[in-house]
Amino acid sequence: MNEHQKVVIVTGASQGIGAGLVAGYRTLGYAVVANSRTIARSDDPMVLTVPGDIGSPGVGAEIVEAALRRFGRVDSLVNNAGIFVSKPFTEYTDEDYEAVMGVNVRGFFDVTRAAVRAMTSRPGGGHVVNVSTSLVDRADARVPAALAAVSKGGLNAVTKSLAIEYAARGIRSNAVALGIIDTPMHDPSSHDALAGLHPLGRLGDVDDVVNAVLYLETASFVTGEILHVDGGQSAGLT
């Protein structure tokens, strides 16, 4: 491996947005460390797959350690792994809370703490991107999502906090706040109804998200930004 080649960690990387991000970063020439609970070995020698539940304590640190052993550095981290459960607030269970907060918050904390340590251990700075939701900014009674608001709202806040704390070290922190994206988690029979939740009248594509993240990756003067990729959801209703 070229010692100047950059390395990115992508969580939730086995399918959908995560798989798109792996491919997108490879087009930029990055080596990729790809994590999800179950992920197959890659034929690409510059893609290291690390299976593990990001919500389990210690897994985030293990991912970063694997990146350092294989590639010797960490330049970027995309916290893509997430759990979304839509229910009326009083119907959420303790199990729902533990699952959502475990992945969305604990998972973020463990892997980001270890990744930022790695970024600060060498010159050159780094970049953290958090995947959030526009429901944090504009609640929708048709999609009750209090646990998303608690967990992803926290990610929006910490995105700005890290941007300021580490600006002098050359580490940027940004987020993409998404609308509903066409991924395998959505039954095709629901697509028309889900499209109607966006002023643009369609679901987002994985490429819409990948292009936004790669923009932030290359936008060296942008930090502390919450970039909405949501078909106009956060702007209002038509």
pTM: 0.95
Q: Is the residue at 136 inside a domain?
A: yes
In this predicted structure, what is the pLDDT of residue 187? 79
Q: Is the residue at 217 inside a domain?
A: yes
Query: Is-contact 130 79, C-beta < 8 A?
Result: yes
Residue 237 has pLDDT above 90, yes or no: no
Per the structure, the count of domains in the chain is 1
Contacts of residues 66-70 at CB distance under 8 Å and 24 or more positions apart, as own/partner, are 66/33, 67/7, 67/9, 67/33, 67/118, 68/118, 70/33
Cα–Cα distance, 212 to 123 (Å, whole number): 26
Task: Sort 119 into a burial class: Cβ within 10 Å, 0-12 / 13-18 / 19+.
Answer: buried
Cα–Cα distance, 202 to 160 (Å, whole number): 30
Label residue 61 by pLDDT band (50, 70, 90): very high
Q: Is the residue at 194 inside a domain?
A: no
Residue 20 pairs with which residues in a beta bridge?
Answer: none
Q: Is the residue at 108 inside a domain?
A: yes
Q: Is the residue at 200 inside a domain?
A: no
Q: Is the residue at 233 inside a domain?
A: no
Domain of residue 58, residue span: 7-175+205-228
Stretch 155-169: mean pLDDT: 98
Q: Is the residue at 152 inside a domain?
A: yes
Residue 168 has pLDDT above 90, yes or no: yes
- CATH code for the domain in which residue 60 is found: 3.40.50.720
Cα–Cα distance, 96 to 147 (Å, whole number): 8
Q: What is the pLDDT of residues 171-224, one digit of tens each?
A: 999 999 999 998 877 778 788 888 888 999 999 899 999 999 999 999 999 999
Q: Is the residue at 87 inside a domain?
A: yes
Stretch 30-41: mean pLDDT: 97
